[in-house]
Amino acid sequence: MLSIGNLAERTGVKVPTIRYYEQMGLLDAPERSAGGQRRYTEAELERLAFIRHSRDLGLSIEAIRELLRLSRHPDAPCEDADRIATEHLAGVRARIVRLQRLEGELERMVAHCRNGTVGECRVIRALSDHELCAGEH
């Protein structure tokens, strides 16, 4: 059995985050010691590692909840898991496109900077007047 501190240390998840995941229903309420301390099993350690990796990949709490539900049925088809991952991938790709547009606009703003005064500053002017931007971003 692991204390919450041991669990946090082994997974790299902070204690308040572990409590949050319990409140969100991603982790079951753990057993308690006679002194009232939370006690976690190796299965809960594995589940928390799954949650952490999912969050590192940017999956939402709802997507993680659904993936955890699916993982309880190892013989079921994985089409729902594939759908969740495919939808998330599409969202990541859309964010990348948006970030690339932002990068281009920021590069353009910086390239037009003449290191003069703030009153002449292209960065300040472009932020004040969207018409000075090359396009939507």
For residues 36 and 8, state if they share a domain.
Answer: yes
Give the residue numbers spanning the domain of 19.
Answer: 4-76
Residue 132 has pLDDT above 80, yes or no: no
For residues 67 and 84, state if they share a domain.
Answer: no
> What is the average pLDDT across 71-87?
95
How far apart CA 17 and CA 8 sit, in angstroms, is: 9
Residue 135 has pLDDT above 80, yes or no: no
Residue 45 has pLDDT above 80, yes or no: yes
> What is the average pLDDT across 103-121?
83
Counted domains in the chain:
2
Q: Answer with the residue of higher pLDDT: 54 or 36.
A: 54
Q: Mind giving me the DSSP string for 79-115?
A: HHHHHHHHHHHHHHHHHHHHHHHHHHHHHHHHHT--S
For residues 22 and 72, state if they share a domain.
Answer: yes
> What is the average pLDDT across 27-39?
89
Structure tokens at 13: 């998840």
**pLDDT over 70 percentage in the chain:** 100
Q: Is 54 within 8 Å of 68 (Cβ atoms)?
A: no
**pLDDT confidence of residue 14:** 97
Which domain-ending residue is among 49, 76, 103?
76
pTM of this prediction? 0.79
70 found inside a domain: yes
For residues 52 and 100, state if they share a domain.
Answer: no
